[in-house]
Amino acid sequence: MGFLAVKNTAIRAIYTSVPKQKVFTKDYEWVTIAERDLFAKTTGIIERRVASSTTTCSDLCFQAADELLNDLNCRDQIDLILFVSQSPDYFLPSTAVILQDKLGLSKNTVAFDINLGCSGYVYGLTVIGQFLQNGNFRKALLLCGDKSTISTNYQDKSTFPLFGDAGSATLLEFDKSADEWFAHLASDGSGKDSIIIEHGHSRHPYGSVSDEYIEYEPGVIRTKKHLALNGMDVFNFALKEVAPSIKLMLENFEINIDDIDYFVLHQANKLINESVRKKLKVAPEKVPYSIQNFGNTSSASIPLTICTCLKEKIESDQLTLLLAGFGVGFSWGSVVLKTSEIHTKIVEHD
């Protein structure tokens, strides 16, 4: 049923990195002013951060991780590094292995990638928890993010104004005194075509596909090497699966929904997230948003929301959080965990 419990694992720090460059919805001249206003109202996106052509997702994650390791003085204690992204540096080798060397970590460090997007942070936390909970690993770095803007076309109003770039680094460690976590993970590959870059990898390799631009509908022009997103399919998926998955997990582990301080949802768009919130019957003040400033940042959106919206509380208070990621795949998951004095920082990448 996809239920997991994680013991003896604690989050110690969450750092995020975003590009300095800001792009504003009001300046997206491919659509009318009325369409821009409607887009901002429904998605909640006012501005986004866009990386330069020479900046990769791993560059953003590296900056977040490097500052974290310096601030907490634990570079020589990392046993595991997990990179969760759908914008790796290369087809091969693994980006996590590259970052192991770039961060100056021990050659004994276990390093590997997971190819996941919107659900990636929740999946990453639970995977690392399986390594840490038995005490064979001391500390681990979870690096999550995407450079989604590299895959969108300016003339595609369904994707171009939606996504921003960001990277994150989360430090976890073995701790016998930590409260147990509870999670539910799920997937449905029949929805693969709803969010997809169809051409450019093994199924349709570069060199065998056309660079022809196709107009799918008014205002939606792209090649098959660009990101394609069916907004209605994604909306229906989120309404069908996300809230029920959260309720199922809470019921399975006998967790009272009223005991959760904050619900940190993947920042898909505000209309989707508000629909999920209302299905859960959760008060608005318990569901923080960062999408207005950063757009949809894929697997970085949950840590970015924590760093921007909950910084003061998470650094000083003990909180019970429910984190929920959902999207491309389709893939989704949620985790309930208790936090205690987590260091946070958000840095700008030049």
Give me 238's structure tokens.
């989120």
Using CA atoms, how far apart are residues 41 and 264, in angstroms rounded to an integer? 20
User: Which residues carry out catalysis?
Assistant: 118, 266, 296
Q: Which residue has the tokens 């969760």?
A: 84
How far, in whole angstroms, is CA 226 from its chain's centroid? 20
Q: Please provide the size of the chain in residues.
A: 350
Using the structure block, give the residue that is written with the tokens 């953003």. 60
CA 342 to chain centre: 19
Phi/psi of residue 192, nearest 5 degrees: -60, -35
Instruction: Tell me the CA distances in angstroms from 62 to 33, 55, 66, 67, 102, one per residue in order.
Output: 38, 11, 6, 8, 8
Nearest to 16 by CA among 299, 316, 333: 299
